[in-house]
Amino acid sequence: MTCALALFSGGLDSILACRVVAGQGITVQAVKFVTPFFGYDLLADEQEYARKVKESYGIDVVLRDVSESYFAMLRNPPHGYGKNFNPCIDCKILLLREAKRLMAEFSASFLITGEVIGQRPMSQRRDTLRVIERDSGCTGILLRPLCAKKQVPTLAETEGLVDRELLLDFNGRGRQPQIQLAERFGISDYPRPAGGCVLTESEQAKRIAWYYGRYPEVRLNDVRMLLFGRHFQLPHGGWFVLGRDEAENSRLESLRDPADYLVHMPERSGPMGVLHDTKHPDDFAAAAGLVVRFGKRIDGEAARATVLFAAGTEEFNLEAGPLVDQAFQGWSL
Ligand code: SF4
């Protein structure tokens, strides 16, 4: 039985690509690659995700975490960044390389993606699709079922594994052909296009770019921490993160490195903070002032409070009043 390995984003195009090929009696195994920038939360319950995809679309999917190789690529993507910190061309090249490596594990004869010529300005132009194929080492083994008839036949077609006549000739930005095809497959509940990648979101992307500019080594938990909470660069270099609710406070606590200071008010409810990379007394004072500023108000006032700093076996308190807003306006990341 022929097997195809599909790069699965979870969006409609990748769903349709899988179904078109599976419709020819080919076993399709989908793989969804995740990093903290996209899809990472799914790792918390992979089985549930796989169950939902199977139930909704009839597709078998596995998750693969490619964070480490992705972090390295993101520092210097050979094809550059898009509008924000999104290295779309190199992202696709990396994911295809990873998929190619997995082909043996799943006894796959070829790869499929849901790409459509001309759908995205940067990464889905005809010449770019060729570059992606070439640089990922996937020339000839990568079938794009939704626009295959607009492309040079791949090995799967010339060797008769796939009937080219039953593939499609979609191109351009219009979504109507995909929507009609989805209807034919009886698929009505699917995610909207785009979205889901924080590297394309300007605020998040700026913060990630700041982190890359500052740290030569990228740590998984740091990156995960960059994606929620309030962030400040303190005047003497400290990077301070504050939770905005209970859930963020708990996440911060679980992600922080033991060398980082956990900062909070032991006698009053308020945010949990994590202070990185500073021993400067002014940064400690600033962090304490921020915790009080964003803490619970007493009679409408953010009154002075004791703020506890703890890192490893080191622990100390500072008394602090709320920092006035003008004092930290330029610190936000
Ligand atoms: S939007 Fe994000 S996930 Fe999609 S190709 Fe670009 S970098 Fe990769």
For residue 294, how far is its CA from the centre of ligand 1 (angstroms)? 34
- Rounded-to-integer distance, Cα 32 and Cα 39, Å: 8
Whether 193 has a pLDDT exceeding 60, the answer reads no
- The predicted-structure confidence for 125-135, as pLDDT tens digits, reads as follows 778 899 999 99
% of the chain at pLDDT higher than 90 = 88
Q: Does domain 3-196 have CATH number 3.30.1950.10?
A: no
For residue 186, how far is its CA from the centre of ligand 1 (angstroms)? 28
Global pTM reads 0.92
For residue 87, how far is its CA from the centre of ligand 1 (angstroms)? 7
Average confidence score pLDDT of the chain: 94
- The predicted-structure confidence for 155-185, as pLDDT tens digits, reads as follows 999 999 999 999 999 998 888 999 999 999 9
Whether 297 has a pLDDT exceeding 90, the answer reads no
Task: List the chain domain ranges.
Answer: 3-196, 228-331
The best mutation among 8, 38, 85 to test binding of ligand 1, ranked by most ligand atoms within 8 Å of the C-beta, falls on 38
- Rounded-to-integer distance, Cα 60 and Cα 67, Å: 22
Tell me the mean pLDDT in the region 5-31. Answer: 96
- The predicted-structure confidence for 46-86, as pLDDT tens digits, reads as follows 999 999 999 999 999 999 999 999 999 999 999 999 999 99
Whether 195 has a pLDDT exceeding 70, the answer reads no
Which residues lie with the beta carbon below 6 Å from any ligand 1 atom?
38, 86-88, 91-92, 123, 197, 199-200
What are the residue ranges of helices labelled H in the chain?
12-22, 46-57, 67-75, 88-102, 126-135, 155-158, 176-184, 202-214, 220-226, 246-255, 281-293, 325-328
Whether 118 has a pLDDT exceeding 90, the answer reads no
